[in-house]
Amino acid sequence: MTNCPKCGTLLNDGVNVCPNCGTVIAPFAAPQPNMDPNQQYQAPQQPQQPYQYQYAQPVPDPKDHTSEFEAKDISDNKVISMCAYLLGLVGIFIALLAAPQSPYAAFHVRQSLKMTIVETLLMICAAVLAFTIIVPIAAVICLGIVFVLRVIMFFNVAGGKAKECPIISGLGFLK
């Protein structure tokens, strides 16, 4: 138990403010010999500097090429670009014939062509190694993944985006 340095009221341990006079009591402060007991405790003043927030800048996605195309080109050729993913090889030819001058459609034709090449290679591997049973099963699973990627790319085109295909763009032989 301690006494309030201002009014002398008996205080319990751990009390930071005197209930009688409102003096702030320094926690765990040892009495100083030159300190007037009637003087109110004041915390040392530190210069206040405003905290400057630093917001993280968004990192641009290196596989997102949407900003490289004009908005008019995207809106004019969105449906044609969807055909490339929806119809496979036939859709690629339709997109090439319907929008030969569109960079946006050409980008999606290239992405769809990469997917078609991967699907063809998977089917060839499954046919050649059909006797192993494991390879055809793995090929069917991989074809299912490529199908899901086609759906993802279809919805990217519907949203007016030009992103590279998530898994297939990492294959070195299709760059």
Q: pTM, whole model, 2 decimals?
A: 0.64
Is residue 53 very low, low, confident or very high in pLDDT (cuts 50, 70, 90)?
Answer: confident
Distance CA 138, CA 53 (A): 51
Residue 143's pLDDT is 95
Quick check: 27 and 16 in contact, CB under 8 A?
Answer: yes
Amino acid at 165: C
Pick 30 or 105 by higher pLDDT: 105
Average pLDDT, rounded, for the chain? 84
Residue 139's pLDDT is 93
Residue 70's pLDDT is 93
Question: What are the residue ranges of helices labelled H in the chain?
Answer: 71-76, 78-86, 89-98, 103-128, 134-158
SS3 163: strand
Mean of pLDDT values over 23-39? 60
Quick check: 92 and 112 in contact, CB under 8 A?
Answer: yes
How crowded is the C-beta side of 147, counted as CA atoms within 13 Å? 6
